[in-house]
């Protein structure tokens, strides 16, 4: 649904630029309203075969003194079997909080609302991850139906046990593999993430950041969970290992599972993602097919364009200004103080329409 439009400021884009304006040819030569309806249809079709269906996911943290952190607001997305969705955005925009909410790993001062339906493997119903109790999450969800590559692998690993011991314990708990085969299965998992076999008997404090990352990724792959949440899985890796790691994660999704890749590494997202979701100040401001997002058409939201233009191999032009404090978000578009396309209309919050939440989105580049 398009947001209601007020009269525009003198420097506003023309009204005919409005998404959904009937019959207006877009840069691709297709009338804009037809293009938007097609995009909506794709979204609806995706919802039917979704492994994960998130609607209105909102997370607030209550602070002492009555202040509130609006960490995630009204996130909507679907993730289908065989699909990789990359969730990108600057640090602190709410990406990791969203992943923690899906696994019930938020601190006690968090308030969560919305739904996150994880489909049952047989396709008959599912589990609302936001409503599930701790027992359900611990016994049937974490590691089994939803795997996590954590953002802080060193803190995730048990400090008093070797990597081999932790891998074998995870194999035992999640797969029931016989004792004899456990060692080989653990070594195979390590091999999938290029963790060196001669480091398997080391303790976490004896590992570099990159090796700890690879160990944590190997642990996450063991259960073959239908949904994998990978939160900055390439931290501390050099480019060759980044490519190898994300390719392995992609293979996980290619086998009929789903992957939510949370990353600030746009090159990694471009390499493996089917779609890209961009978060800013706790909101998803654009979801687009990866080929359009990274291709000549480009993203439509000004913030998403800014993210790409900041890359060294593109314009290498940083977005001016800083993101707003999540304790003091404006009533309208949170990107307005940094946005070159802002008008008076942007004092009203833009609702998502055809994958983009912006009053004056860019047309796809020709
Ligand atoms: S990003 Fe926000 S400020 Fe910029 S044009 Fe869109 S709605 Fe307005």
Give per-residue pLDDT as tens, 258-271.
Answer: 999 999 999 999 99
What is the position in ligand 1's atom list of the atom closest to the CA of 336? 3
Q: Phi first, then psi: give them for residue 312, nearest 5 degrees.
A: -60, -30
CA of 313 to the centre of ligand 1 (A): 25
Nearest CA to ligand 1 atom 3: 336
Give the separation between CA 105 and CA 137, rounded to whole angstroms.
Answer: 10
Sign of CA dihedral 276, 217, 54, 281: negative
* Portion of the chain with pLDDT greater than 70, in percent: 86
pLDDT in tens, 307-338: 999 999 999 999 999 999 999 999 999 999 99
Q: What is the mean pLDDT of the segment spanning 300-304?
A: 98
Residue 254 has pLDDT above 70, yes or no: yes
pLDDT the model gives residue 46: 55
Among 307, 312, 320, CA closest to 95: 307
In short, whether 214's Cβ falls inside 6 Å of ligand 1 is no
pTM, 2 dp:
0.85
- Closest to 239 measured CA to CA, from 278, 262, 268: 268
Token readout for 193 is 């993430």
For residue 346 and ligand 1, the question of a CB distance below 6 A is answered with yes
Ligand 1 site, residue 359, Cβ cutoff 6 A = yes
**What is the pLDDT at residue 22?**
36
Task: For residue range 7-57, list pLDDT tens digits in order.
Answer: 333 233 333 333 333 333 444 344 444 444 344 434 444 556 799 999 999
Q: Give residue 191's pLDDT.
A: 95
């Amino acid at each position: 649904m398009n947001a209601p439009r007020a009269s525009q400021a003198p420097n506003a884009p023309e009204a005919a630029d409005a998404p959904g304006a009937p019959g207006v040819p877009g840069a691709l030569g297709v009338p804009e309203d037809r293009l938007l309806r097609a995009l909506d249809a794709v979204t609806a079709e995706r919802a039917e075969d979704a492994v994960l269906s998130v609607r209105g996911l909102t997370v607030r943290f209550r602070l002492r003194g009555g202040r509130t952190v609006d960490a995630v607001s009204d996130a909507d997305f679907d993730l289908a079997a065989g699909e990789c969705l990359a969730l990108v955005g600057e640090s602190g925009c709410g990406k990791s909080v969203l992943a923690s909410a899906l696994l019930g790993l938020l601190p006690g001062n968090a308030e969560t609302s919305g739904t996150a339906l994880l489909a049952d493997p047989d396709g008959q119903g599912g589990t609302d991850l936001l409503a599930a109790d701790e027992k359900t999450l611990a016994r049937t969800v974490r590691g089994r139906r939803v795997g996590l590559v954590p953002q802080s692998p060193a803190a995730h690993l048990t400090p008093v046990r070797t990597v081999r011991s932790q891998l074998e314990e995870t194999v035992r708990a999640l797969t029931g593999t016989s004792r004899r085969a456990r060692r080989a299965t653990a070594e195979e998992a390590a091999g999938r993430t290029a963790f060196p076999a001669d480091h398997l008997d080391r303790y976490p404090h004896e590992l570099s950041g990159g090796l700890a990352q690879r160990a944590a990724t190997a642990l996450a792959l063991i259960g073959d969970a239908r949904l994998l949440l990978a939160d900055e899985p390439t931290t501390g890796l050099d480019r060759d290992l980044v490519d190898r790691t994300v390719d392995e994660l992609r293979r996980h999704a290619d086998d009929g599972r789903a992957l939510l890749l949370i990353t600030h590494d746009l090159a990694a997202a471009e390499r493996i993602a089917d779609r890209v979701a961009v978060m800013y100040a706790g909101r998803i401001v654009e979801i687009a097919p990866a080929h359009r997002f990274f291709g000549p058409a480009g993203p439509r939201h000004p913030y998403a364009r800014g993210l790409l233009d900041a890359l060294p191999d593109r314009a290498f032009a940083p977005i001016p200004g800083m993101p707003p404090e999540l304790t003091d978000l404006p009533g309208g578009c949170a990107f307005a103080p940094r946005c070159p396309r802002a008008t008076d209309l942007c004092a009203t919050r833009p609702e998502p329409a055809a994958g983009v939440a912006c009053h004056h989105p860019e047309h796809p580049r020709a």
